[in-house]
């Protein structure tokens, strides 16, 4: 798709969201105490106005005599100097959301994308990130943000950052899950994104403790959640009506997967005994309900071309070409046709994306189990990553789950 096509989609999303509340992402920090495999995790739905994004690997380099970390990060295609979620080769990972109740008062200062790039380049532990925050307390941060962070020691924390100070919340056995949308607990009213915050808390609280939080749970139940203040249409198919709209149509203005959700990730850290290069990002480009997650290991030293390329990423192109089939009724702006995702006959986007994604997660876990006893080279990791990605993309492009039935090396 040409840039004009992406621009048209951007304009359409803006028009759809005329009455939307302020956007700015929903995030969660998941301590290892409640995960199924004793690894900490981060989750983010990135709510922004521009879909033309990439995931890329950035090589470790020396700058001003200092060795920097290699990392995988999400960025706008036109600007790779600002990163908005990612993980590095030291096992450090970071996500963020905007926060609007900390008295933002600066017109100049470091921005979030630059700060997150610096964190990925230089940080290995929570303490390193806290020193970085201390240094930017002095110079000032141009806006206010919530940052979720994990490290290779299995630690996890959320930082509420105003222009010149920050407050930390550490994931512990007593408080293992920390959720934020677009407000901070240390601030006052208003609580922007409160509907999304409460929904994410509800979903994470509904999981039985005996099961443990998994990447699959976060990807399906949070990243793709389209419940709203009127009804919960899940599980699909959905045959009720909202506000007089046609049956099956869902208002997604304030959902976790809302009008501005144009990328997402689940980042799984490592257990204390593991090599941090096994830090794994499940990366989604495009509208989450219309897309699927690719497993990306930092230790691969690469990202499949489906998530970047020299121009618009192939996944973005395909999602963009299909999204009008979800928002297919101009009389009901902001309402998505849930039957395009899954109808009463078992057809729809979910009939191939969800099986393909589940298979990818299974294959990724299988590779990890082998690598724990037989350490791989970067090339081994890259080859496995490519094989999984190739299968995912072919399934997605063809609109069929047939590719998941083939042996992994085909």
pLDDT at 400: 86
Residue 135: CB atoms within 10 A of its CB come to 11
Q: Any idea which of 9-18, 153-162, 313-322, 327-336 has the lowest mean pLDDT?
A: 9-18
Examine the pLDDT at 1 and tell me if it is beyond 90.
Answer: no
pLDDT at 198: 98
Residue-wise pLDDT for 226-285, tens only, equals: 999 999 999 999 999 999 999 999 999 999 999 999 999 999 999 888 999 999 999 999
Instruction: Read off φ and ψ for residue 141, nearest 5 degrees.
Output: -105, 130
Q: How many residues does the chain have?
A: 410
Q: Which DSSP string corresponds to 55-75?
A: EEEE---EETTEEPPPEEEEE
In the sheet where 85-88 sits, what is the strand order?
A: 53-58, 71-76, 85-88, 93-98, 145-150, 156-161, 166-170
Examine the pLDDT at 4 and tell me if it is beyond 80.
Answer: no
Confidence of residue 405 (pLDDT cuts 50, 70, 90): low
Examine the pLDDT at 14 and tell me if it is beyond 50.
Answer: no
Confidence of residue 319 (pLDDT cuts 50, 70, 90): very high
pLDDT at 403: 62
Nearest 10 degrees: CA dihedral of 269, 222, 292, 40? 0
Q: Any idea which of 19-28, 282-291, 390-399 has the lowest mean pLDDT?
A: 19-28
Instruction: Read off φ and ψ for residue 340, nearest 5 degrees.
Output: -70, -25
Closest listed residue to residue 264, CA positions, set 289, 294, 285, 295: 285
Examine the pLDDT at 7 and tell me if it is beyond 50.
Answer: no
Q: Which DSSP string corresponds to 215-279?
A: HHHIIIIIIT----SS---PSSP----STTPPTTEEE-SSSSS-TTEEEEEEEE---TTS-GGG-
What is the residue-averaged pLDDT of the chain? Answer: 93
* Percent of the chain with pLDDT strictly greater than 90: 88
pLDDT at 19: 34
Residue-wise pLDDT for 21-71, tens only, equals: 346 899 999 999 999 999 999 999 999 999 999 999 999 999 999 999 999
* Percent of the chain with pLDDT strictly greater than 70: 92
Q: How far apart are CA 129 and CA 125, in angstroms?
A: 7
Q: How far apart are CA 27 and CA 193, in angstroms?
A: 11
Q: Report which of residues 310 and 161 the model is more confident about.
A: 161
Query: ∠168-41-383 over CA atoms, to 5°?
Result: 140
pLDDT at 94: 99
Please, what are the domains in the chain?
Answer: 3-405 (3.60.60.10)
The model's pTM = 0.93
Examine the pLDDT at 135 and tell me if it is beyond 90.
Answer: yes
């Amino acid at each position: 798709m040409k840039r004009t096509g992406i621009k048209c989609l951007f304009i359409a999303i803006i028009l759809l969201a005329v009455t939307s509340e302020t956007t700015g992402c929903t995030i969660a920090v998941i301590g290892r105490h409640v995960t199924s495999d004793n690894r900490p995790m981060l989750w983010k739905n990135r709510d922004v106005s521009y879909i033309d994004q990439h995931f890329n690997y950035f090589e470790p380099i020396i700058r001003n005599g200092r060795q920097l970390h290699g990392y995988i990060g999400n960025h706008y295609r036109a600007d790779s100097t600002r990163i908005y979620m990612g993980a590095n080769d030291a096992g450090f990972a970071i996500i963020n959301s905007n926060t609007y109740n900390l008295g933002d008062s600066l017109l100049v200062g470091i921005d979030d994308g630059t700060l997150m790039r610096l964190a990925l380049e230089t940080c290995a532990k929570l303490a390193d990130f806290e020193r970085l925050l201390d240094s930017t307390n002095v110079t000032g941060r141009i806006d206010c943000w919530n940052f979720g962070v994990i490290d290779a020691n299995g630690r996890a924390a959320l930082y509420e950052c105003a222009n010149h100070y920050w407050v930390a919340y550490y994931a512990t056995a007593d408080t293992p899950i920390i959720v934020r949308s677009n407000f901070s607990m240390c601030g006052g009213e208003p609580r922007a994104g409160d509907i999304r915050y409460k929904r994410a808390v509800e979903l994470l609280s509904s999981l039985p403790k005996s099961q443990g939080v998994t990447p699959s749970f976060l990807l399906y139940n949070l990243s793709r959640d389209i419940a709203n203040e009127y009804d919960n249409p899940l599980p699909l198919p959905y045959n009720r009506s909202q506000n007089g709209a046609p049956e099956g149509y869902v208002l997604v203005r304030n959902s976790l997967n809302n009008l501005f959700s144009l990328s997402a990730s689940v980042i799984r850290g490592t257990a204390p005994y593991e090599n941090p290069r096994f830090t794994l990002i499940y990366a989604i480009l495009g509208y989450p309900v219309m897309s699927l997650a690719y497993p990306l290991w930092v230790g691969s030293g690469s990202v499949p071309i489906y998530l970047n390329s020299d121009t618009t990423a192939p996944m973005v192109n395909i999602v963009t070409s299909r999204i009008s089939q979800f928002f297919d009724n101009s009389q009901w702006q902001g309402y998505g046709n849930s039957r395009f995702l899954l109808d009463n006959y078992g057809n729809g986007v979910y009939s191939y994306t969800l099986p393909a994604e589940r298979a990818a997660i299974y294959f990724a876990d299988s590779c990890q189990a082998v690598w724990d006893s037989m350490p791989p080279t970067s090339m081994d990791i890259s080859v496995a990553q490519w094989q999984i990605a190739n299968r995912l993309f072919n399934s997605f492009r063809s609109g069929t789950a047939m590719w998941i039935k083939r042996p992994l090396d085909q």
